[in-house]
């Protein structure tokens, strides 16, 4: 039996509704534009985060550094993989086969809303309870981000890491 099934029904419903609302909100706020030019195909991006701001102080927190690869498809769906040192100094991984980007938020062409969903590995031992639904170091991941493209293909982004932190990222195209 998985940990999700052990959650109270109200909590499971809230999580499901939150995912649905996030997807619909992005669609409603964005004026869809295919980011990658259909003639050029998919875009592969290198991601780097040198800094994460935690909302609350914890003496056990360490610096978080992330590097990753993200692929954006012509239909604006996303997938990717990131390697990072988590807030407790443990080498970690986030693989996200699901995601989407919504461009021109509020009519601001360089502004985009992104979400990704996947699997996190790395919160183990005494830190296993620092992420929800953790089972032997594996836990589901859902990240929302707001990106600003300051140069064609180059963007800065703020990723919301649940109720714990905000990660600041820069990404650059590889193709």
- Classify 146 as helix, strand or coil: strand
DSSP three-state, residue 148: strand
**Whether 53 contacts 46, CB under 8 Å:** no
pTM listed for this prediction: 0.77
pLDDT of the chain along its 175 residues, tens only? 456 556 666 566 556 555 554 554 454 444 444 455 556 789 999 999 999 999 999 999 999 999 999 999 999 999 999 999 999 999 999 999 999 999 999 999 999 999 999 999 999 999 999 999 999 999 999 999 999 999 999 999 999 999 999 999 999 999 8
- Residue burial 67-102, b: 16+ Cβ < 10 Å; e: rest: ebebbbbeebebbbbbebbbbbebebbbebeebbbb
Burial class (CB in 10 A: 0-12, 13-18, 19+), 159: buried
Q: What is the dihedral of CA 130, 127, 82, 79, to 10 degrees?
A: -40
d(CA 1, CA 48): 36
Number of domains, the chain: 1
CATH number of the domain to which 134 belongs: 2.40.160.20
Using DSSP's 3-state secondary structure scheme, residue 147 falls into strand
pLDDT attached to residue 22: 52
Predicted pLDDT at 31? 43
By residue range, what is the domain housing residue 40? 3-173
């Amino acid at each position: 039996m998985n940990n999700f099934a052990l959650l109270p029904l109200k909590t499971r419903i809230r999580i499901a509704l939150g995912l649905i609302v996030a997807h619909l909100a992005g669609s409603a706020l964005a004026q869809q534009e295919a980011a990658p030019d259909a003639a050029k195909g998919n875009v592969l991006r290198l991601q780097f985060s040198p800094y994460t701001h935690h909302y609350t102080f914890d003496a056990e927190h360490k610096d978080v550094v992330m590097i990753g690869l993200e692929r954006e498809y012509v239909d604006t769906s996303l997938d990717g993989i990131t390697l990072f040192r988590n807030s407790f100094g443990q080498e970690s991984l986030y693989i996200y086969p699901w995601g989407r980007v919504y461009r021109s938020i509020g009519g601001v062409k360089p502004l985009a809303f992104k979400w990704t969903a996947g699997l996190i590995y790395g919160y183990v031992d005494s830190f296993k309870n620092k992420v929800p639904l953790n089972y032997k170091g594996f836990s589901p991941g859902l990240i929302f981000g707001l990106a600003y493209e300051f140069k064609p293909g180059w963007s800065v982004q703020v990723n919301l890491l649940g109720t714990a932190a905000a990660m600041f990222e820069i990404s650059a195209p590889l193709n």
